[in-house]
Structure 1
Amino acid sequence: MNRIVVSQPIHAEVLETLRAAGEVVMNPGPEPWAAEVLARHLRDADGWMAFMTDRIDAQVLAAAPRLRTVACALKGYDNFDLAACARAGVLVSFVPDLLTEPTAELAVGLAIAAARHVLAGDQAVRAGFAGWRPAFYGTGLHGSTVAVVGLGAVGRAIVDRLRGFGCAEILGVDPRADHPGVRATGLRAALAQAHYAILAVPLMAETRHLIDDGVLGAARPGLVLVNVGRGSVVDEHAVVRALDSDQLGAYAADVFEMEDWNLPDRPRAIPAALLNHPRTVFTPHLGSAVRRVRQEIEMRAADNLVAALSGRPVPDLATPLQP
């Protein structure tokens, strides 16, 4: 019988789908298993449903000799060493599309929250509201120039949503893609003009710390920066310096450098100066945290896993059959 490891709690319907394919060992959550606990479960596992808190490399694979497939219940699989999986004959699948719309919605929400001082306004009301006062003036999307960095599925969905806000212009930064109605430009040129910049960039060698001191120093003063791509696309310490100098108007993020598990030199925490800065808005990786969407993502991952274990074609395969 197949043995399937699930490293986070999943919906009951998804669990039943997996149980039809084998014995399931599921983390009851909500905290991830410790590395040694996960390794013990993977020792005799045939399939693994993995999540954002997981990572896989040659060392993990060496300790899981029976493993045949890893089904990622996520879109960005940069925490998974695909080359090592291919060499070990382990099929990796992912869920490419279901996260797109909710992540794009959150990106626009973070942009508005940061630019319109929503957190500060909320705190002011709770501290004792005496009625309207001339305070908390910010920047609106209407009439503003917005740069979208990364025109993959999420970036294009962000552009489509921004069109309803009456932006003066939407700039697109992506050397590999374009989008109708978006003016393509380079990163520095875009940030020099933009009131807002929204990052929807995957983490690759060439995008790590894409946003650094130099780029921020050349940006339009008061820029509102939003990151829903990957944390390490941004140098968080550079963001702190830009906020402190008022070069950056606000920073909002749903992703953080400390989450990028596959980077050996990643920071282990969000910088305290960033967490404590008054012109920041943060969410705990909520891009796909819509109940219906999460269930659909889990079910898609389960379908990928069951297909791999049964020898059928895997719909969302990320690794080839041979290295």
Structure 2
Amino acid sequence: MRKIVVANWVEKEVLDYLRAYGTVEANTTFEPWSAAELIRRCQGATALLSFMTESVDEAFLSACPDLRMVSCALKGYDNYDVAACRRRGVALSIVPDLLIGPTAELTVGLMIALGRKILSADRYIRSGAFAGWRPTFYGTGLAGSTVGLIGMGALGQAVAARLAGFDCSLIYFSQNRLTAEQETRLGARKVGLDELLSRSDYVTAVLPLTPETVHLLDAAAIARMKRGALLINTGRGSVVDEEAVADALASGHLGGYAADVFAMEDWALPDHPPAIPPRLLGADNRTILTSHIGSAVTKVRLEIAMEAARNIVDFLEGRALQGALAAN
């Protein structure tokens, strides 16, 4: 029987499905295995079902010579070396579509929660200080605001579509321009990055992590933002310089920061920080930080894991892979 390793907890239905095609060794806890433990588990394995917490590179593949397939339950592959997989004839696949809708929904939710100071007002109620309405917690609404989307791929377009009806002005910066029909349908206009930063009340980063996007929003870029503007990051943590964000929050130049992704998660970057900056964690009245829950919708996570499992089965059965990036 072929050995299949599942690196993180998944639903029983997924494990039962895979067991019909091989011997399954699964992590049944909510904590990821260490890199050394994952390598140990993958000895003799044909396929690996992996997640955001894993990293596959040349050294990993060298230590797991029998591995022929890596199926990522992910939209992207930032922590996976596509070239190394291709060189070694290891199939690599992702699940590109299922995560987009829930992540776009969370992005809009973070925009509203940050602008309307929802968490601060909630904490105030729970403190016992609330004695009825007072002219406090005034914030920024989407209606009448300018929203700038940095990135207009599938996620950016999904966010733009969900902003329809909020009566906001939408501008975007992207290397690739939408078609005229898409711009009309989404009510979006392409501008340069400097114009987007200087005009937007909300700046939303929905970018993948590439050499060009690392710290795209650094101290200099944040300084070009409108004073008091709000920054939301649901793309990848290292697209934003988190220390620069902490500086801008402390100075009052940045009105607030919401993030669902963090630089500490970008394992593929050799200099990624070990933790979220303490100053960012300490700015709790101006930040909303969620624990990478963009796709954390119960039925969607099951669909994602099942799709990744189906990719493994398709590979084992010799069928064409969906979302394949490298194949033998």
TM-score range, shorter chain: over 0.9
TM-score (norm 2): 0.96
What does 1:278-297 align with in structure 2 at a 5 Å threshold?
278-297=285-304
Tell whether 2:205 aligns with 1:199: yes
Which residue pairs with 2:324 in the alignment? 317
Residue identity matched to 1:35: A
**What does residue 235 of structure 1 align with?**
241
Match in the other structure for 1:144: 145
SS in 1 for 2:148: strand
Which aligned segments of 4 or more residues in structure 1 are displaced greater than 6 angstroms? none
Is the contact between residue 51 and residue 72 of structure 2 (CA under 8 Å) also seen in structure 1?
yes
Give the structure 2 partner of residue 266 of structure 1. 272
- Return the alpha-carbon distance in structure 1 between the equivalents of residues 230 and 255 of structure 2: 5
Q: Which amino acid aligns with 1:120?
A: S
Is the 2:232–2:258 contact (alpha carbons within 8 Å) kept by the matching residues of 1? yes
SS at the partner of 1:8?
A: coil
Contact 2:217 2:239 in 1 (8 A): yes
Q: Summarize deviations over 1:254-287 as a string: whole Å, max 9, x none.
A: 0000000111110000000001112010100000
The 5 A counterparts of 1:99-178 are 99-128=99-128, 129-167=130-168, 169-178=169-178
Unpaired segments ≥5 residues, structure 2: none
Contact 1:200–1:228 (CA<8 Å) still a contact in 2? yes
Contact kept? 1:152, 1:177, Cα under 8 Å: no
In the alignment, the residues of structure 1 paired with residue 206 and residue 177 of structure 2 have an alpha-carbon distance, to the nearest angstrom, of 13
Look up the match of 2:6: 6
* Alignment counterpart, residue 254 of structure 1, candidates 245, 260, 278: 260
Match of 1:190 in 2: 196
SS in 1 for 2:124: helix
Distance 1:170 1:319 in 2: 36
Q: Distance in 1 between matches of 2:151 and 2:327?
A: 26
Distance 1:309 1:62 in 2: 21
| 1:53-105 deviation per Cα after TM superposition (whole angstroms, max 9, x unaligned) | 00010010001111000000010111000100111110000001001110001
| Distance in 2 of aligned mates of 1:118 and 1:251 | 13
The residue aligned with 1:245 is 251
Instruction: Give the superposition deviation at 1:123.
Output: 0.6
Does the 8 Å CA contact 1:68/1:309 hold for their aligned counterparts? no
Of stretches 308-317 and 43-52 in structure 1, the one that deviates more from structure 2 is 308-317
Residues 135-188 of structure 1, C-alpha deviations (whole Å, 9 max, x = no match): 100000001000011111110010001112111x10011012324121101112
Residue 242 of structure 1 deviates from its aligned partner by: 1.0
The one of 300, 304, 308 equivalent to 2:311 is: 304
In 2, the alpha carbon distance for the partners of 1:207 and 1:145 equals 23
Q: How high is the sequence identity, in percent, across the aligned residues?
A: 51
The alpha-carbon deviation at position 320 of structure 1 amounts to 4.0
Aligned: 1:73 with 2:73: yes
Corresponding letter in the other structure for 1:199: A
Contact preservation (8 Å) 2:177, 2:190: no
Partner of 1:31: 31
Moved more, 76-85 or 178-187: 178-187
Which region of structure 1 is more displaced relative to structure 2, 292-301 or 174-183? 174-183
